[in-house]
Structure 1
Amino acid sequence: MELTGLLASVLILLSCCYFIFSTWKTMYRKQGLPPGPTPLPLIGNLLNIKMGSMVNSFVKLSEQYGSVYTLYFGLNPIIVICGYEAVKEALIDQNDEFGARGKLPTIGQFTKGYGLSSANGERWKKMRTFTFKTLREFGLGKIGNEWKIQEEARCVVEEFRKSQGHPLNPSATFMEAFSSIICSIFFGDHYDYTDGRFKKLIFCTNEVLRIINSPWGQVHSIFPTLMSYVPGPHHKAVSLSEEMVDFFAEIVKSCQQTFDPSKPKHFVNCFLSKMEKEKDDPNTEFDMKNLLCTIHNLYIGATETLNTTLRHALLILLKYPEVEDKVHEEIDRVIGRDRMVNMEDKFNMPYTQAVIHEVQRFCDIAPFNVPHMVTKDTMFRGYHIPKGTNVYTLLFTVHRDATQFSTPYKFNPNHFLDENGQFKKNDAFMAYSVGKRSCPGEGVARMELFIFLITILQNFNLTSQMEFSEADVAPKLKGFVNVPIQYELSFIPR
């Protein structure tokens, strides 16, 4: 009788599990969402995603379910869009519907919707309009206004000369240089690379991005509510961000004491002027919280991503010395070795432009893009996507789209050259994203990459004691940001 009772209990339990699973499956299928793997109660599609290899997991699912499919992060549906045509349709053709920022749990728990990157609605519109306008007013990203970047590139060259050809990792120097540029844009000051507070700011930035990219950060993105109660390093991103903002707040306070509304000299001055004009408006978005969070957002976006891109570029040139030789030849022919490069030179340097674009395409620094969110109930390719649903547009699949690039998995500058060897644009190049949520600092970033890479190659030959394979230079696709392998190289004066 005991055995019969046990079997009966097991059968009842199995029947209940089957009923719950069937009910769950039927319930989620009725929503009209795109197809996708069946989620499990509570954990969703966690078992379909390999932590530390998220991009590959998403790409494999697209091979099974198509260019638009649904995943569940816990109980929440996530729409994944893959390939050039589908991403273009969402971010350009239906940019109003897909124009909101999706949830960024690791950063969002600090910014709480303030600033630029994680804001939505009127706050985002005002912060973005102000940011674009202010950057344009100071000529940043415009030809003829590259002197700050040129000066910092000279400093980098001098730092590398000090190494006297000994192997080094250039990451710290690049990070210091790009940090100094963005701080000069915000505050009008150049920071010495040895400044202790400046080094602490850089350390905090590196750590925040490391946490976001780690398995802890990835799980936090999937289970934000649950992980808010689970101890772990993902919580440290908040305290690190607070340290960064404390540094910014101290400088802003100093700017307030010397501020002349009639002569704004930098980004913070312009924001303070706007705060003063709208101080009596109870609905103003120009307050100290938005200022500090906007600086925080832009600083993170303008430093480590450029550092990572340039390290990828040097690694690729070490692997393919014939590419470096061609860039050297173009530099010597167009600029020479005595004068500083300027942005006018890019029109006479099609091969170098093609190399920079191909580095960004091939390395896919942000393979997932930053999450988007639909602003209203939306029909997309025959599927119903409810308002507020997070959307991941996989830029990796755009940059690996065989209909747009002839050798999508190989480094090939010819992707951006026409039959006459002239630079050609490609609409499938989305390194800065596209649409309403494209990178606000794209103009400055393009300028920095061009001037830094050329200034380095104008002065040095690159060598390394390490041997690199194609697998070494290929993107690792471990998390939200693609970082290159650790390596050292020597800068040999030309």
Structure 2
Amino acid sequence: MMEQTDFVRSFMTLAAALAVLIWIWWKRLVPANFPSGPSGLPLFGSIFSVGKYPWKTVKKWSSEKYGAVMSVRFAFKHIVFLNTYETAYQAWVKQGSEFSGRAFHAVLGSNSGNHGIILRDYEDVMKSQKQFGLKVMKGFGFGRTTLEEQINDEALKLTSVLRTKVGVPFLLKEYIHNSVLNVITRLICSKRVKSGEESELYNALKLLFTDPADKSMSLIILMFPEVRKLPFLSSIFKRYSSRDKFVHDYLAEQVREHKKTFDKHNLRDFIDAFLFEQMHGHRADRDDFTDKQLVSFCRDLLVAGNDTTRSSILSFILILLHYPEHAEKIHVEIDQVFGKDGMISMKERPKTPFTCAFIQECLRFYAVAPIGLEHKLTETTKFQGYVLPKNTPVNINYWGVHHDEETWPEPEKFDPYRHIDEEGNFVLSRKVITFSFGPRFCFGESLARVELYVFFVEILRKFDVLPGDKPLPSLNDGNVSTLFEPLPFQLVLRERK
């Protein structure tokens, strides 16, 4: 008996010593003069403590203990989070060349590799491709039809379909998804796609990040791509990769078709514009304009442009259902400026200050991309009194920036009037950073802003938007993947006379 007791005592002493050594080792993994943050559990970090909505937890930690610049450890990875506008602007803009790197993402890049634009590191090819993309977007359309006219056309098609739903509770998501998707496919390859089960492209994109079977587990492989091959996660990764490959294959077929009918004097869309650069652009750049790069670039446009815009429009409508007192003022502005019919022109947008304020407050209040894709340090950098080693992952907590009490008094209060000045004019805020800023700002911002305004105005011009039979989901809850999308909600439309 004495020997057993000695053995147990020795084992417990050894285990305690080992635990202390692991803890000391774990603590020493933090680089010197690095932003502070929760240590979390050895080997796991804060994986189990960030909760369902990590951006809210990180903001809480930032406000209560660690400050605007803090770190969070996930397994062996230390991510620096910026939680205020001032720190975000300092990093992304003033020190943009140091903070604009991007590490390869094994899940999102499983089919595109180091091609496209979103996942590329901050290097010359990425810069030249972005310049090209901006040039195309600045042209705002091809041939005889401007992109603004195409968006109006899709918005009219949408409201025409929605008329068949008047008076009946229904889900809006599929209709918005199809309309926004057609804006992007017309821009990319001059095609419209059918909705629902008739279109494999529609279904692949619809479920790419929001498959109900995956629930919140998809967020895990997106945050930690290294675990994608674990038995209980590999099926999620395979479903994502298969759908993503279908999107790539669809776009590759469009490129092949465009090459057969290419006419340098009649550029129809983005693919044609890219092919022109491939065949007739500056010789030094032609090596960057490959077919693989074109397909991946188009895939980035399709996925990023479709998901964020769809989710944003849905959030606008859900917010309006929660705050119906703002509807009448929006209706009055729309009727006075645009009437019942005719094209919704962005030139007339300043005449609708409250509508613009409502949209901007929606973008502040409900961040569909609460935490964007990580940046990484291109070199060891001094920042806000800290030393951040090269390749350190850094991210802006966009939700945290938009809910910072120093910038936005009573941030949890939805108030469009915070964007209206004393003369009743709309004030465009540089501190609503939905589209980011600095070298990696969203170059599709101009397109997205037109879509958000035109679709929202067209729906409100034609209909009163009312809640359905079922209770509305809370604005604090949503589906989480790469985005934060409203939970399914019913609405009822009443046609306006």
Superimposed CA distance per residue, residues 449-488 of structure 1 (whole angstroms, 9 cap, x where no aligned partner): 111111111111112234757x723454845411112111
- 2:206 maps to 206
Matched AA of 2:408: F
- 2:37 maps to 36
Q: 1:461 is paired with a residue of what secondary structure?
A: strand
- 1:14 maps to 16
Relative to structure 2, which stretch is displaced further, 143-152 or 76-85?
143-152
> Are the structure 2 counterparts of residues 76 and 291 from structure 1 closer, same or farther at C-alpha, using a change threshold of 3 Å?
same
Q: 2:132 is paired with a residue of what secondary structure?
A: helix
Alpha-carbon distance, 1:125 to partner: 1.1
Q: 1:473 is paired with a residue of what secondary structure?
A: coil
Alpha-carbon distance, 1:31 to partner: 2.8
Superimposed CA distance per residue, residues 340-363 of structure 1 (whole angstroms, 9 cap, x where no aligned partner): 321112011111111111111111
Alpha-carbon distance, 1:317 to partner: 1.6
- 1:260 maps to 263
Superimposed CA distance per residue, residues 159-200 of structure 1 (whole angstroms, 9 cap, x where no aligned partner): 01122421211111111111111111111233344783xx21
Residue 99 of structure 2 contacts residue 375 of structure 2 at CA under 8 Å; is this kept in 1? yes
Q: Number of matched residues?
A: 487
Q: 1:71 is paired with a residue of what secondary structure?
A: strand
- 1:109 maps to 110
C-alpha separation in 2, matches of 1:415 and 1:481: 26
Residue 186 of structure 1 contacts residue 295 of structure 1 at CA under 8 Å; is this kept in 2? yes
Q: 1:129 aligns with which of 110, 124, 131?
A: 131
C-alpha separation in 1, matches of 2:219 and 2:160: 39
Alpha-carbon distance, 1:2 to partner: 2.2
Matched AA of 2:175: T
Matched AA of 1:28: L
1:335 aligns with 2:319: no
- 1:166 maps to 168
- 1:70 maps to 71
Residue 350 of structure 1 contacts residue 423 of structure 1 at CA under 8 Å; is this kept in 2? yes
1:384 aligns with 2:348: no
Q: 1:107 is paired with a residue of what secondary structure?
A: coil
- 2:81 maps to 80
- 1:418 maps to 421
Relative to structure 2, which stretch is displaced further, 315-324 or 390-399?
315-324
- 2:495 maps to 493
- 1:224 maps to 225
- 1:359 maps to 362
Alpha-carbon distance, 1:434 to partner: 1.4
Alpha-carbon distance, 1:437 to partner: 1.3
Residue 44 of structure 1 contacts residue 75 of structure 1 at CA under 8 Å; is this kept in 2? yes
Alpha-carbon distance, 1:99 to partner: 1.3
Alpha-carbon distance, 1:376 to partner: 1.0
Matched AA of 1:359: C
Computed over aligned residues only, the root mean square deviation of the Cα atoms, in angstroms, reads 2.4
Matched AA of 2:19: C
Residue 101 of structure 2 contacts residue 376 of structure 2 at CA under 8 Å; is this kept in 1? yes
Alpha-carbon distance, 1:72 to partner: 2.0
5+ residue gaps in structure 2? none
- 2:183 maps to 181
C-alpha separation in 2, matches of 1:195 and 1:263: 34
- 1:306 maps to 309
C-alpha separation in 1, matches of 2:194 and 2:239: 27
Q: TM-score, normalised by structure 2?
A: 0.92
Identity, % of aligned positions: 25
Q: 2:7 is paired with a residue of what secondary structure?
A: helix
C-alpha separation in 1, matches of 2:480 and 2:59: 13
Superimposed CA distance per residue, residues 387-446 of structure 1 (whole angstroms, 9 cap, x where no aligned partner): 111111100011111222233112110121111211012221011111111111110111
> Are the structure 2 counterparts of residues 429 and 280 from structure 1 closer, same or farther at C-alpha, using a change threshold of 3 Å?
closer
Q: 2:387 is paired with a residue of what secondary structure?
A: strand
Residue 107 of structure 2 contacts residue 228 of structure 2 at CA under 8 Å; is this kept in 1? no
> Are the structure 2 counterparts of residues 428 and 347 from structure 1 closer, same or farther at C-alpha, using a change threshold of 3 Å?
same
Matched AA of 1:367: P
Alpha-carbon distance, 1:251 to partner: 1.4
- 1:215 maps to 216
1:432-451 matches, within 5 Å, as: 432-451=435-454
C-alpha separation in 2, matches of 1:351 and 1:264: 38
Alpha-carbon distance, 1:214 to partner: 4.5
1:237 aligns with 2:244: no
Residue 153 of structure 1 contacts residue 451 of structure 1 at CA under 8 Å; is this kept in 2? yes
Q: 1:347 aligns with which of 347, 350, 358?
A: 350
C-alpha separation in 2, matches of 1:475 and 1:88: 28
Relative to structure 2, which stretch is displaced further, 322-331 or 183-192?
183-192
Residue 53 of structure 1 contacts residue 479 of structure 1 at CA under 8 Å; is this kept in 2? no
C-alpha separation in 1, matches of 2:260 and 2:197: 22
